[in-house]
Structure 1
Amino acid sequence: MDMSRSISDYLRRIGADRPPVPDAAALRDLQFRHLLTVPFENLSIHLGEEIVLEDAALVAKVVERRRGGFCYELNGAFATLLRGLGFRVTLLQARVFTPDGGLGIPYDHLALLVETPAPNGTGPGEGRRRWLADVGFGSHHSYPLAFDERGDQDDPAGTFRVVEAPDGDLDVLRDGKPQLRIDRRPRVLADFTAGSWYHRTSPDSPFTRSLVCSRNTRDGRITLTGDRLVTTVNGERHERELVGDAEVLAAYLEHFGLDLDEVPQVMAGRTRGRS
């Protein structure tokens, strides 16, 4: 794969110009545009498609096939884009908090630690800022969070806070509710293979039990779950049931740019291929 060409195609995919420098403003713009254009979706699981955790395959899915994916795919591809633009990127593993306050499996989620020059940066390696970037957690922070800030951080999606947690980890809170527990140790993409396999195959994974395709809009969010289309505009929720395969396929294309040959169906109990 010609990575230089892929980076240019990736930027066109999300409607972004190539930033002159890999700074915080560029990162903020790239994350926001990514969330607007590339959907968070788990359709490959239910269409029997293979999920390959390799840089070239992830970029090809987003750029050439014009698809989305779940966290490992979206943040894996986004990391490749950012590195191609000159950002310093580290992969981090995180566990997702359950509604009852428990924690999911290790490698439950892939998040990105991105370094940018500080506004008054000095020499190489000095005066840098660190950001928590994430385009793979569904409805979450629209802009990168300051990784070393421990106070409130306002975002269109709510008020976020990064706080110290046991064993040197960090918790990410949204409106006071814990969302993620992040391990600060650097990881590589292959480390997430078992987590991806679990979420593709386990009956306990939320991704095997339901369909989801969702993305941000400039004034809210739009989500298609099976035959139910939900749009949120300025905090007001609207829900509509789609009738028939043709209407469902048309919604995937109109709202998410997904040109599918068949309507995805939940395939509970089906044996699926490995990552």
Structure 2
Amino acid sequence: MTSEDLDVDRYLSRIGLVGPVEPSLEALGSVHTCHLLSVPFENLTVHSGGRVSLDIRRLYEKIINRRRGGFCFENNGLFSWLLVKLGFQVTLLSGQVKNYITGRYGPPFDHLILMVNLEGRRWLCDVGFGAPGFSVPLSLETSGLQQQGHRVYRIRKDINMHFLEWQQEENKGADGDWREIYKFTLEPRCREDFTEMCQYHQNSPSSFFFCKSISTILKPGGRLSYIGHRLITTTFPIGTEMATTTTRELKEDEIPGVLAEEFGIVLDSPLIPKDETITPPPVMY
């Protein structure tokens, strides 16, 4: 595949949009949300005998032509290409994810995120994080609450470091229980900077992506997630209701059909389902 084979309209069709799309805040929100509703966050290449590549042509072939998904380096990597082609000013940023085992942060380049500068304002975009992720871009111009449906986020700044925080599925306002998701600076990065961490997440027993086979996708009103031998359905709260979660145990021969029917994923090689305990990483950050 050559660069001429990468077609913007085909990408837009993959996420359920019809071009042309002009660079505006409304358009940025639309492509961001539609991407999350259409492209799974998944690492199944790692668990079916393949290797993840950061090459844009290979990402396009996988996500657009083969209708797969990917983890952050793939989804946000290809999404950045789309935004640039649509006329947006995009900067790649390095994120460090809060580790729920150690309570500390991962190393630099642990997570690939995007900043879009539009009409003098900066927006955080991320279509490659999974369940805690936000559905529309977040403003980098405020540290105040940013509500998205039943969820609320904020971006707290401490000197040059920014901290993305949320209240999970509860919105209790400024005095609620804030939990950190990841931290990042606004220093521009390039795709090659993430190569080492992309390899790490495919090989390390301290990486969630190595230890567990996963796929998750945003749905209107909820989220659907596959992990190992489980299919988890989350329904977002409405009004004063709480979020509900149901889990279905899957037999191994059921998994390919579930992936195809629920996530649109058809693998080239047999999947080895995995849901192993993660080895705590060294506490360094």
Letter in 1 for 2:193: D
Deviations 1:182-207 (A, max 9, x none): 12100000000011011111111111
Query: Corresponding residue for 1:146?
Result: 139
Quick one: structure 1 residues 252 and 214, their matched pair in 2 at CA, closer, same or farther if it must change by over 3 Å?
same
- 1:19 CA drift (Å): 4.5
User: Which stretch of the first structure deviates more once superposed, 99-108 or 134-143?
Assistant: 99-108
Quick one: structure 1 residues 198 and 78, their matched pair in 2 at CA, closer, same or farther if it must change by over 3 Å?
same
Q: Which runs of structure 2 are paired with 1:88-103 in the superposition (5 Å)?
A: 88-99=89-100, 100-103=102-105
- 1:60 CA drift (Å): 1.7
Quick one: structure 1 residues 3 and 78, their matched pair in 2 at CA, closer, same or farther if it must change by over 3 Å?
farther
Q: TM-score, with normalisation over the residues of structure 2?
A: 0.85
Which of 86, 109, 115 is the matching residue for 1:107?
109
Query: Corresponding residue for 2:39?
Result: 38
- 1:265 CA drift (Å): 3.0
Query: Corresponding residue for 2:170?
Result: none
Q: Does 1:15 align with 2:16?
A: yes
Contact 1:4 1:84 in 2 (8 A): no
Quick one: structure 1 residues 144 and 19, their matched pair in 2 at CA, closer, same or farther if it must change by over 3 Å?
farther
Deviations 1:56-115 (A, max 9, x none): 221221101211111000000100111111111100001001225311111110000012
Contact 2:6 2:60 in 1 (8 A): no
- 1:156 CA drift (Å): 3.2
Which of 238, 246, 271 is the matching residue for 2:246?
238
Question: Partners of 2:115 and 2:19 in 1: how far apart?
Answer: 20
Partner SS state of residue 7, structure 2:
helix
- 1:158 CA drift (Å): 1.6
Aligned length: 256
Letter in 2 for 1:67: R
Question: Unpaired segments of 5 or more residues in structure 1?
Answer: 118-127, 269-275
Identity of aligned residues (%): 37
User: Which stretch of the first structure deviates more once superposed, 178-187 or 230-239?
Assistant: 230-239
Letter in 1 for 2:166: R
Q: Which runs of structure 2 are paired with 1:37-186 in the superposition (5 Å)?
A: 37-99=38-100, 100-117=102-119, 128-139=120-131, 140-156=133-149, 158-166=151-159, 168-175=160-167, 176-186=178-188
User: RMSD value over aligned CA atoms?
Assistant: 1.7
Contact 1:7 1:81 in 2 (8 A): yes
- 1:242 CA drift (Å): 1.7
Q: TM-score, with normalisation over the residues of structure 1?
A: 0.88
Query: Corresponding residue for 1:252?
Result: 259
Question: Partners of 1:26 and 1:226 in 2: how far apart?
Answer: 36
User: Which stretch of the first structure deviates more once superposed, 44-53 or 134-143?
Assistant: 44-53
Question: Unpaired segments of 5 or more residues in structure 2?
Answer: 168-177, 237-242, 277-285
- 1:47 CA drift (Å): 1.3
